[in-house]
Amino acid sequence: MRGAECPEAAGWLVERLRLTSRPVKRDRLAEELRQRAAEAWGHNWTLSTAARRLREAIKAARRQGWPIVSLGRGFQLARTQADRHKAAERLRDMARDLMAEASHLEAASVPGDQVQRALFTEAGGEPGGRG
């Protein structure tokens, strides 16, 4: 049973987050989901399986329109527009950081590649070829 195919997990998550206005850590949610899966749905999940199902449930709940946000302290329902804006800005910052990291990775040359290129050039061959 996958989280996207498990409306019970997404529904449980939304109800759980409705109970408190404070953020709830991922580990705690995963443990509670593992217990819920055993008690209510008869599944014997490991903690790592529960964590994976939690990620899937978060995605499913977000697709259903629930404003589940994480601002670094845990997950919570965004109760105000300011909460949603802060979470969106954090995601944009993360995306910018990832794009910059990808650009650096593509532009980086590995020292071993440079040495290999120099050896092929000295031998009269083409880099990457069978010179």
In this prediction the pTM is 0.67
Same-domain pairing of 71 and 86: no
Do both 43 and 105 map to the same domain? Answer: no
Residues 32 and 85 in one domain: no
SS3 labels along the chain: CCHHHCHHHHHHHHHHHHCCCCCECHHHHHHHHHHHHHHHHCCCCCHHHHHHHHHHHHHHHHHCCCCEEECCCCEEECCCHHHHHHHHHHHHHHHHHHHHHHHHHHHCCCHHHHHHHHHHHHHCCCCCCCC
CATH no. for residue 1? 1.10.10.10
103 with 57, same domain: the answer is no
Residues 60 and 12 reside in one and the same domain: yes
74 and 102 part of one domain = no
Residues 64 and 112 in one domain: no
Count of structural domains, the chain: 2
> Per residue in 104-127, pLDDT tens?
888 877 776 777 777 777 777 665
Q: Tens of pLDDT along 57-104? A: 999 999 999 999 988 889 999 989 998 898 889 889 999 999 999 988
Residues 6, 44 within the same domain: yes
Q: Which domain holds residue 126?
A: 80-131
